[in-house]
Amino acid sequence: MVKIGLFIGMISIGNIYALFFHTLSMPLFDSTLIHCLILGSGFGIINFLLANWYMAKNAQIKRDNESLKSKVYGDDLTGLLNRKALELECNNFNNQVFSVLFVDVDDFRMYNNRYGHKSGDRVLHQVGDVIRAIIRSGDNAYRYGGEEIVVLLKDCEKINALQIAEKIRVQVSRIDNTPYPPITISLGVASCPEDGHSIQDVLEKSDSALLLAKRLGKNRTLAFDG
């Protein structure tokens, strides 16, 4: 619809311009060549201005859409994507090889109760920063709920996912959280196709691995082993 409007607008302006300058230039210039050059230059300028306006308008629309998308699918606290974005990904995702990391901040509720929600929010923000810094450009991380974070690693086999998960765990443990206690996380790892064939299946398996990691002492990475 926009292209049709642009096309009609440019044709209309071109015709108006041609009629105006034809009437203006013919009495002044008797040369057909000069007349054609004037009209051609005028058309070029008009087309350039229209195209420049259209590109600027299109760029503004894209910026507005990105801003709206960030508000709808972004988590303000951690800077990660939210659960709604993960659900959308689950509906549209089609990848034969991928891995899921299910991340949970250890003893977070006790930490919140003891040191306050402001301090707890700071922990979540720091953990989110670490995850964003470590995962690859094509990967996505989602705040699943509370202190739980899900990381979707596309085209990533389990052995590589475990390495990424361990790197995240170690880096989080090195966060300077003074004057509060150190931050630790537990991670569950599962992959497609060996642990399931959909994001939902693999997500459930990674959650199972996470729960076992918690039971085994926390602050560790554990892969699902069916």
Q: Calculate the CA dihedral of residues 192, 88, 132, 147 and round it to 10 degrees.
A: -90
Model pLDDT, residue 43: 65
25 Cβ contact list (under 8 Å, min separation 6): 34, 35, 38, 39
Q: DSSP state, 1? A: -
Q: Where are the domains of the chain?
A: 2-73, 83-223
Q: Could you give the C-alpha distances from 152 to 62, 90, 161, in angstroms and in order? A: 26, 10, 10
**Lowest mean pLDDT: which of 33-37, 122-126, 178-182, 202-206?**
33-37
The residue to which tokens 């891995």 are assigned = 99
| Mean pLDDT for all residues in the chain | 83
Q: pLDDT tens, 143-186?
A: 998 999 999 999 999 999 999 999 999 999 999 999 999 999 99
Half-sphere exposure of 109 (CA within 13 A, CB side): 3
Give the strands of the sheet with 98-105, arranged side by side: 140-145, 148-154, 98-105, 185-192, 221-223
Model pLDDT, residue 135: 96
Q: DSSP state, 74? A: B
* Annotation marks residue 147 as catalytic: yes
Q: pLDDT tens, 21-39?
A: 566 555 555 556 565 656 6
Q: Which of 66, 87, 89, 147 is catalytic?
A: 147
pTM listed for this prediction: 0.70
Question: Taking CA 194 as the corner, what is the angle to CA 85 and CA 171, rounded to the nearest 5 degrees?
Answer: 60
Q: Output the six-digit token pair for 127.
A: 């953990």
The bridge status of strand 140-145 relative to strand 148-154 is antiparallel
8 A C-beta contact, residue 191 and residue 99? yes
> CATH code for 83-223?
3.30.70.270
Q: How far apart are CA 100 and CA 98, in angstroms?
A: 7
